[in-house]
């Protein structure tokens, strides 16, 4: 136990310094490393494998709903990027540009993509001619570059990995449906894979995506009471179509502009998983997204009976589709227990000679650190239920955290007191003027306008004007 304790001490306590706890965990759990350029991280195999599991889940859902994967160029000519005014203004401070080859200056500067709307638009303008060409349901998996001033692993970097979907439709009804259908896929990603209860809703005019008519968001609440925007979907209307002249001939042979959407989630989801579920011992990975679901640790591994039982169980678990690892290194069992707890592996199975005399193994579940003696013959068949129970428990725990930290404010003093505690605070406001004042006074920003709209007060507590909508606010990453 002393070795276990020593290992735990290497991670800062969450409540002592949450930001440092997070950084410690990213490095010590070998999810990432820093590169030689500030803001550009190295995704280590363990961290990248979490992203792969997210990708696999979403890629399947996208393909089931008729979307196709494409790949657009890394660079955008500056003149092309300038075509959509609002969009350019939204991204101008963050764009990185290529100006020279090292031998000669470029005739036109090239922007390294901060997002790919303009590239998709120029392509759609070429390939969409008739209503028969629609809808176009495209998605790409790539990285983007945004020159952020303050960076933090996974949450905010100068380069990050993501998927960006871009679709074109005949009419507003289809495009709006697409925007909300994808939002639901994202919500289910949280519920089914990440064990995170996302709050969904529409962004305010002030917070919406540059160039969008409407933006919708999934928001997650971290352990420290701060929110994290974890994904967005956007309805563009015909704004980009007009800027890029994307027209089609409808059934009546009349020219129409397409209606467009875009949507994306990124590797910041890895940060959400860490901060929603982790504890002072390290990561707690929900079983369906965990790169390794089971680690087998043989005790007295030199004994033949232990070796045989370990190999047999390993092969059975692998054959049943469980992601499993054996650690038969010469490090002490205490060190191994602490290491794999810190890495958040959902289930640890200890195989020792004494337990084997009773044909049993010791099974430890990471999320509650409970030990169970399990008959060796029933281990494989019992794991699906263990995973399901673990996933559901983590989801309910996170949901309880959201419910316990969601408040309604009827006056501004109440709002300020709640925001100071952390969590979501719902308040009915008059509009952007109130948002600006709230951010200035409390650093809180509008997270979502919930779909279920009821006014808490008739008058906005900030401006004393007529309240028009209820908005959820929080301090956010």
- Region 12-277: CATH code: 3.30.930.10
User: What is the token pair recorded at 116?
Assistant: 């790919």
Map residue 282 onto helix, strand or coil. strand
Architecture of domain 294-386 in CATH? Answer: 3-Layer(aba) Sandwich (3.40)
Q: Mean pLDDT, to the nearest integer, of 149-177?
A: 97
For 13-57, what is each residue's pLDDT tens digit? Answer: 999 999 999 999 999 999 999 999 999 999 999 999 999 999 999
Q: Mean pLDDT, to the nearest integer, of 387-400?
A: 98
For 377-391, what is each residue's pLDDT tens digit? Answer: 999 999 999 999 999
For 211-260, what is each residue's pLDDT tens digit? Answer: 899 999 999 999 999 999 999 999 999 999 999 999 999 999 999 999 99
* Other CB atoms within 10 A of residue 56 CB: 12
Q: Mean pLDDT, to the nearest integer, of 409-436?
A: 98
- Long-range Cβ contacts of 455-459 (<8 Å, 24+ apart): 455/428, 456/408, 456/409, 456/410, 456/426, 456/427, 456/428, 457/410, 457/411, 457/427, 457/428, 458/428
User: Do 228 and 261 form a contact (C-beta atoms < 8 A)?
Assistant: no
Q: Where are the domains of the chain?
A: 12-277, 294-386, 407-474
Whole-number pLDDT of residue 28:
96
Name the superfamily (CATH) of residues 407-474.
C-terminal domain of ProRS (3.30.110.30)
Q: Is the pLDDT confidence value at 161 over 60?
A: yes
Q: Mean pLDDT, to the nearest integer, of 151-156?
A: 95
Whole-number pLDDT of residue 9:
54
12-277 matches 407-474 in fold: no
What are the beta bridge partners of residue 77?
110
For 59-87, what is each residue's pLDDT tens digit? Answer: 999 999 999 999 999 999 999 888 766 66
For 102-153, what is each residue's pLDDT tens digit? Answer: 899 999 999 999 999 999 999 999 999 999 999 999 999 999 999 998 999 9
Q: Is the pLDDT confidence value at 430 over 60?
A: yes
Map residue 106 onto helix, strand or coil. strand
Q: Is 300 left (phi over 0), alpha (psi -120 to 50) or beta?
A: left
Distance CA 130, CA 133 (A): 5
Residues of the chain by 3-state class (helix, strand, coil), percent to 5: 40, 30, 30
């Amino acid at each position: 136990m002393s070795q276990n304790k020593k290992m735990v001490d290497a991670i800062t306590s969450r409540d002592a310094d949450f930001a440092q706890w997070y950084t410690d965990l990213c490095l010590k759990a070998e999810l990432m490393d820093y590169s030689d350029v500030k803001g550009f991280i190295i995704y280590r195999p363990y961290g990248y494998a979490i992203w792969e599991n997210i990708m696999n889940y979403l890629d399947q859902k996208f393909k089931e709903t008729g979307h196709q994967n494409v790949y657009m160029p890394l660079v955008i000519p500056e003149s092309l990027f300038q075509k959509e005014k609002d969009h350019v203004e939204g991204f101008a401070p963050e764009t990185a540009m290529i100006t020279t080859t090292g031998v000669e200056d470029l005739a036109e500067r090239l922007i390294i993509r901060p997002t790919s709307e303009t590239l998709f638009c120029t392509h759609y303008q070429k390939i969409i001619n008739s209503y028969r060409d629609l809808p176009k349901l495209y998605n790409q998996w790539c990285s983007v570059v945004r020159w952020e001033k303050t960076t933090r692993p996974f949450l905010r970097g100068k380069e990050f990995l993501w998927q960006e979907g871009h679709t074109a439709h005949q009419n507003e009804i289809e495009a709006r449906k697409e925007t909300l259908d994808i939002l639901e896929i994202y919500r289910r990603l949280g519920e089914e894979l990440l064990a995170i209860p996302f709050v969904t809703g529409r962004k305010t005019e002030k917070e919406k995506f540059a160039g969008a008519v409407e933006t919708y968001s999934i928001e997650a609440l971290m352990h420290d009471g701060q929110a994290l925007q974890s994904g967005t979907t956007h309805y563009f209307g015909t704004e980009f179509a007009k800027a890029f002249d994307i027209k089609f001939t409808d059934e009546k042979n009349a020219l129409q502009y397409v209606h467009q959407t875009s949507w994306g989630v990124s590797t910041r989801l890895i940060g959400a998983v860490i901060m929603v579920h982790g504890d002072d011992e390290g990561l707690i990975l929900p079983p369906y997204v965990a790169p390794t679901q089971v680690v087998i640790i043989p005790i007295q591994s030199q004994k033949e009976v232990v070796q045989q039982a370990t190999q047999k169980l390993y092969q059975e678990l692998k054959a049943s589709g469980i992601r499993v690892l054996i650690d038969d290194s010469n490090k002490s069992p205490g060190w191994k227990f602490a290491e794999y707890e810190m890495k958040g592996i959902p289930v640890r199975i200890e195989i020792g000679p004494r337990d084997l005399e009773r044909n049993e193994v010791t099974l430890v579940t990471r999320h509650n650190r409970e030990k169970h003696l399990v008959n060796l013959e029933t281990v494989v068949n019992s794991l699906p239920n263990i995973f399901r129970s673990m996933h559901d428990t983590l989801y309910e725990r996170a949901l309880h955290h959201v419910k316990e930290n969601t408040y309604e404010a009827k006056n501004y003093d109440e709002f300020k007191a709640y925001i100071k505690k952390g969590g979501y605070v719902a308040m009915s406001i008059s509009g952007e003027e109130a948002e600006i004042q709230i951010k200035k006074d409390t650093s809180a920003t509008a997270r979502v306008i919930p779909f279920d709209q009821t006014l808490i007060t008739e008058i906005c507590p900030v401006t004393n004007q007529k309240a028009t909508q209820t908005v959820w606010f929080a301090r956010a990453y």
